[in-house]
Structure 1
Amino acid sequence: MVLIGIWACVVTLASTFGASYWKSHHSAPAEPAAHVEKLEVKKVKPITVPIISDGMLKGYISAEFAYVVEASNTSHGSGGGAVDADSYVMDEAFRRLYADNSLDFRRIEKYDLNSLTRELTKSINQRLGAELVRETLVKSFAFVPKDDIPH
């Protein structure tokens, strides 16, 4: 009876040790690693856009933008000719702000910056012919009245 008890204990210990050893040394099939995107924020030079209302210069919009691109797409182009997206961001931002009739310089705090950045991203990517720019960011945005500028 004692031998059967010892035998049961040895079998239990051996099976527990065997199972834990097998589990620690037998790993499950590795899942493919998810593609981790490395994003990069690129700063753009500040722009100054004149605001003209009723045929008169009222002041300037001073704005600074940045854009987010995938690090592997820091330049875009075919045939080795790289195209710098900075120029496109600055040009699109200037054009949008200059031609935007909904921009009320008297209440600049009410301007829809979310809409502006979405539209900038969309039109920049259309002009580049690829989904290069992930997002356009506003670093600063202010209206400076003409009277506040020293002559």
Structure 2
Amino acid sequence: MLKLVLTGVWVCAVTLGSVYFSMQYASAPVMSEADADRRASEEYIPGEIITVPVIKEGAVQGYFLAKLSFSATKEGIAKLHAPLRQVVTDELYDMLVGSKFVDLADTGSFDLPTFKVAVKDGLNKKLGNEVITEVLVEQLEYLTKDDVERVANSQNRPYQKPVPVVDKNGNVAADKIPEGAVKATSSSH
């Protein structure tokens, strides 16, 4: 018993020592003064989920779901004539409705870095100034029209009859309870 207690104390001492020394030698990443000034002049703007229809050949082919957040200059945000979230939503609709960002034939060709740069450039062009400094993607999904219909129809699925259980002799065992289950149930009471 004494060996077990001493082993526990030894393990605790080693653990605490390793945590202490790792904290002593760990250091925060060094940020240059220019980076610190830039970060102090920026503000994080959380995004909201928007659903943009993907239109091809005059019909809706699917839906592009996006939740984008932004890093923007405080000075630029103060000069805006409309709230940034509404401007972002408007620009994303302008960019994505009827665009080639989502190719239905080859969804694997989507280029996220290009998309982020295009959103940033499009927003800054619309705002008339370098307001957006970074685009952060929180959620990005594409649902085909068939995916949406499949989910919608699964809630209205008609009741399906249960499949009967057949025992090894080919008899339908719908009303039979195996003997082992009865004994196990009755013995537990």
TM range, smaller chain: 0.5 to 0.7
Mapped to 2, the partners of 1:135 and 1:41 lie a distance apart of 9
Which amino acid is 1:69 matched to?
Answer: A
Distance 1:135 1:148, change over 3 A: same
Task: Report % sequence identity.
Answer: 24
Mapped to 2, the partners of 1:126 and 1:52 lie a distance apart of 24
Which amino acid is 2:68 matched to?
Answer: F
Paired residues of 2:49 and 2:65 also in contact (CA < 8 A): yes
Paired residues of 1:121 and 1:133 also in contact (CA < 8 A): yes
Paired residues of 1:67 and 1:136 also in contact (CA < 8 A): yes
Q: Which residue is equivalent to 2:98?
A: 99
Q: Which residue is equivalent to 1:56?
A: 59
Unaligned runs of 5+ residues in structure 1 are 1-32
Q: What does residue range 40-119 of structure 1 map to in structure 2 within 5 Å? A: 40-70=43-73, 72-73=74-75, 75-77=77-79, 83-101=82-100, 103-119=102-118
CA deviation after TM superposition for structure 1 residue 82, in Å: 5.3
Paired residues of 1:76 and 1:132 also in contact (CA < 8 A): no
C-alpha deviations, 1:67-109, integer Å up to 9, x for none? 1113x337332xxx75322112111112111131352134323
Paired residues of 1:47 and 1:64 also in contact (CA < 8 A): yes
Q: Which residue is equivalent to 2:119?
A: 120
Q: How many residues align?
A: 115
Secondary structure of residue in 2 paired with 1:141 = strand
Mapped to 2, the partners of 1:127 and 1:55 lie a distance apart of 26
Q: Which residue is equivalent to 2:37?
A: 36
* TM-score of the pair, normalised by structure 1: 0.64
* TM-score of the pair, normalised by structure 2: 0.52
